[in-house]
Amino acid sequence: MSHTSRAIVAVVLYAACFALRGEAEQPEPAVETAAVSAAQPSPPKADLHSGSAQVVVDGRPVMRLATVPGVISGEQRAAEATTRILELAEQGETRSDIRPARHDGGIALVDGDRFLVSLYPQDATLAGLPLTELAKRDAEALRAAIEAHRNARSLRTIARRAGLAALAWLAFIVLVRILRHASDAVRNRIRTWRIGGLDRSRVRRLGKQLANQIALLVFALARLVIAVVLLVLFLNLVTLTLRVFPQSGSLADSVLASERSALESALLAIVDYLPSLVFLLVIVAVTVYILKALRLLFDALEQRDLNFEGFLSEWSSPTYSIVRFLVIVFAVVVAFPHLPGGESDAFKGVSIFFGVLFSLGSTSTVSNVVSGVILTYMHPYRVGDFVEIGGTAGTVIRRDFLVTRIRTIKNEEVTIPNSSVLGGQMKNYSALAQDRGLIVHTAITIGYDAPWRKVHELMIAAAKETSGVADEPFPFVWQTSLNDYHVSYEINAFTRSPHELFRIQADLHRNIQDAFNEAGVEIMSPSFAALRDGNSITLPRSHRPEGYKAPSFRFDRSPNAKS
């Protein structure tokens, strides 16, 4: 439906509501002047006439009656007068001829020979008018009230009001359907929105997803406003529909009064909250700009455009996270009392509940966070280092305030809590590898019959043949122990590739085996605790001397042995 159609529907709805309300609330134009003038008594003098009461017909005040001392109270007079007036209004269809007539000590208002109400000097004093003028005014007011009562209950009036109410409901239904279809169209448009008309830097800075989310938020707020407006229109239509029949007019007044009271309360609450809202907006704006300034500062430190003595560039990102958290927490603490309902006992109770829940359930989390902060500034390792933590060796792929993640040589990702890292032993193979180099070492055992210098030469040659072993510093060998049956030798070679440590060790072992086999030196690992069958050496057949035969067992007879 076009914008013109929507405007026409809105105008029809408004006109119908206005006409129906005016029809329900206003009497016939001929009696309006009298009704208005009758509803304009002087302000009640509560101190002098506390017992006065109003005569009300169909919810409209007609006159005020005072208490006649020693005779009758104002409330009783008003009740009796209202009963007689309504009886007259319900009877007859002709125009009432209400006129003043002399009565005992006052003036009576009568319709023909039907008595309605008496007016006394106390009433004139209350109204601030002479008694005769008061009688004329009240007679005209009664006449207008009775005519309005009869007109409101005529079939013609009820039919006209019902028609206007039906027209208003029809326009309301059409308006709701229009708004629903328009809402669906706008939502679908936002979902398929393509950002255009913006320079590329802004698109990169904001991002399409963020822009869509902002648009959806604005759309949700607009739908909320529309829902409130439709609710108000619905309540007004209910009120106007109830006014079609005079018998339900009091219920309509009650609904309308409740609606107005709720709207007034909401508007007053919004107006009262405006200072707090402005304060919250200021807090948000200040916090955002502080965070932007901090982001620029720590970006400069990370990129080394700005240097502080003793502050490592690797500390920039975690330090910014800590400072940002503190700034946000401080802003929340400052803004908390100004939040809607922030001072209520229920809000405080919920806050205390979540605080206790967090305290009881976050002991390990807090421990890990504290350990993460300590590890950040201890700087024992960085992302990309090859480390061993708790018996797990691998490359550090991520570190935050809670956990450290390691990828092992088996391509496994291991997550280690920071409290375990801080409380246990950790080896960093990368820390000094680029300086002097990381030492790759392994040990073998060789029999005492092999010259130790020969063993050293073979082990160093095997190390130099290993890929990844540095030429400088030069590999060296330690004789670590002299055992019962063999000597322990340890080769130490340097590498600057800590991530290939296990591969280098594997290649080193292979090269040591080849070197010793080619040289004919037997490796005594593992050692043998029993005699070997025929005392054959453990060298591979391809590396045994030509014509080698396993020696037989040799027994020597002791000269002192008895034959």
Assess whether 393 and 488 both reside in one domain.
no
249: enclosing H helix or E strand:
helix 249-302
In this structure, the answer to whether residues 442 and 386 fall within a common structural domain is no
Looking at the domain assignment, is residue 550 inside a domain? no
In a domain, 365, yes or no: no
How would residue 357 be classed by pLDDT, with cut points 50, 70 and 90? Answer: confident
Query: Does 402 have pLDDT greater than 70?
Result: yes
| Same domain, residue pair 418 and 512 | no
DSSP string, 426-474: EEESSTTTTTT-EEEEEEEEEETTS-HHHHHHHHHHHHHTSTTB-SSSP
Please, are residues 75 and 51 in contact by the beta-carbon 8 Å criterion?
Answer: yes
Domain boundary among 105, 129, 153: 153
> Where on the phi/psi map is residue 58: left (φ > 0), alpha (ψ -120 to 50), or beta?
left
The reply to whether the predicted model has a pTM over 0.75 is no
Specify the pLDDT at position 331: 92
424 and 442: one domain? Answer: no
Domain count, the chain: 3
Tell whether 486 and 394 lie within a shared domain.
no
- Which of residues 153, 186, 219 is at a domain's end? 153
In a domain, 462, yes or no: yes
Lowest mean pLDDT of 344-353, 376-385, 464-473, 534-543, name the range. Answer: 534-543
Of residues 415 and 372, the one with the higher pLDDT is 415
Are 102 and 69 in the same domain? yes
445 and 523 co-located in one domain: yes
Bridge pairing between strands 403-407 and 392-399: antiparallel
Tokens (6 digits) for 89: 């209004």
Within-domain flag for 393: yes
Q: What is the pLDDT averaged over residues 13-19?
A: 49
**Is the domain of 393 the same as that of 461?**
no
Residue 415's pLDDT is: 92
Q: Looking at 366, 400, 428, which one is the last position of a domain? A: 428
Helices vs. strands in the chain: H and E counts, helices first: 15, 13
Q: What is the CATH number of the domain that holds 524?
A: 3.30.70.100
The per-residue pLDDT of the chain, averaged, comes to: 78
Q: Judge if 132 and 58 occupy the same domain.
A: yes
For residues 481-489, average pLDDT: 90
- Contacts for 189 with CB less than 8 Å, ≥ 6 apart: none
Quickly tell me which residue has 């006159």 as its tokens. Answer: 63
Average pLDDT over residues 378-391: 87
Residue 490 scores a pLDDT above 90: yes
Q: What percent of the chain has pLDDT over 70?
A: 78
- 488 bridge partner residues: 445, 481
- Range with the lowest mean pLDDT among 24-33, 82-91, 273-282, 450-459? 24-33
Separation of CA 115 from chain center? 71
530-545 b/e (C-beta count within 10 Å ≥ 16 → b): eeeeeeeeebeeebee
Domain encompassing residue 386: 379-428
Residues 148 and 51 in one domain: yes
DSSP H helices in 303-344: 316-335
Report the alpha-carbon distance of residue 466 to residue 503 in Å, rounded: 10
* pLDDT (0 to 100) of residue 527: 59
Domain of 417: which CATH number?
2.30.30.60
492 in a structural domain: yes
Is the pLDDT at 240 greater than 50, yes or no? yes
CB-based contact 375:421 (threshold 8 Å): yes
pLDDT value of residue 560? 64
Confidence of residue 393 (pLDDT cuts 50, 70, 90): very high
pLDDT above 80 for 463? yes
For residues 389 and 90, which has the higher predicted lDDT (pLDDT)?
389
DSSP character string of 77-128: HHHHHHHHHHHHHHS-SSPP-EEEEEETTEEEEEETTEEEEEE-HHHHHHHT
Give the rounded distance of the alpha carbon of 302 from its chain centre: 31
**Is 81 in the same domain as 144?**
yes
The answer to whether residue 294 sits within a structural domain is no
Q: What's the rounded Cα separation, in Å, for the pair 354 and 192?
A: 39
Give the DSSP per-residue string, 475-509. Answer: PEEEEEEE-SSEEEEEEEEEES-GGGHHHHHHHHH
Q: Is residue 45 part of a domain?
A: yes
The identity of residue 248, as a single letter, is: S
User: Is 387 a domain residue?
Assistant: yes
- The answer to whether residues 415 and 481 belong to one domain is no
